[in-house]
């Protein structure tokens, strides 16, 4: 259930089962928040990619921490599941006051859903700030070594990145 850090343990307790009412309440609340209560009796191997991602986020949420650190929470998901995950994470920030730190290579999702961006190159901070401050042609060229077209998203007014046709490939003919 993701509640192991909250267990009152003796030195002989190996953490097998024995959850208490508080643990069950935290797990139930996390499942309701992520809209996955209907998945509670299914095995993880029976879940789709989107269901599995929401389950992992619920597991982290059940730990009742002030910060969630998520590595590529939208990787390998179809567009609808990416939007669902990002919307849930945004709500957790806005409604519960949680800090959510995500690692993502999806620049457009980061631009639309994240308040602050930190760009790394070779393990060092290259740029940080608001999406409109960080997502510039110069910064992206410096981090990724390729040209990126940047315009303004028509709904949000935030940066939107597009790779030019044949980006990084020598043109023939």
Tens of pLDDT along 138-165?
Answer: 999 999 999 999 999 999 999 999 998 8
The span from the CA of 160 to the CA of 108, in Å, is 6
Q: Is the pLDDT of residue 54 over 60?
A: yes
At 61, which helix (H) or strand (E)?
Answer: helix 49-61
> Cα(first)–Cα(last) distance of the chain, in Å?
58
Structural tokens at position 76: 């390998």
Q: Whole domain around residue 138: which residue ranges?
A: 119-173
Interval 81-140: pLDDT, tens: 899 999 999 999 999 899 999 999 999 999 999 999 999 999 999 999 999 999 999 999
Do 71 and 47 reside in the same domain of the chain? yes
The span from the CA of 59 to the CA of 26, in Å, is 9
Q: What is the CATH number of the domain that holds 43?
A: 3.40.50.300
Going from the C-alpha of 18 to that of each of 7, 14, 157, the distances in angstroms are 9, 10, 50
Question: End of a domain among 49, 80, 104?
Answer: 104
Do 51 and 135 reside in the same domain of the chain? no
């Amino acid at each position: 259930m993701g509640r192991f850090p909250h267990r009152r343990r003796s030195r002989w307790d190996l953490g097998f089962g024995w959850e208490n009412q508080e643990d069950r309440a935290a797990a139930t609340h996390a499942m309701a928040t992520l809209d996955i209560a209907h998945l509670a009796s299914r095995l993880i191997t029976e879940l789709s990619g989107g269901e599995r991602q929401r389950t992992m986020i619920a597991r982290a949420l059940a730990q009742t921490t002030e910060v969630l650190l998520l590595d590529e929470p939208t990787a390998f998901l179809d567009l609808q599941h990416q939007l669902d995950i990002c919307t849930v994470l945004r709500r957790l920030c806005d409604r519960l006051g949680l800090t959510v730190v995500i690692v993502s290579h999806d620049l457009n999702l980061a631009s639309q859903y994240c308040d602050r961006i930190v760009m790394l190159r070779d393990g060092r901070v290259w740029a940080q700030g608001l999406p409109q401050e960080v997502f510039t042609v110069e910064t992206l060229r410096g981090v990724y070594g390729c040209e990126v077209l940047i315009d303004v998203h028509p709904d949000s007014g935030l940066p939107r990145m597009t790779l030019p046709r044949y980006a990084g490939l020598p043109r023939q003919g």
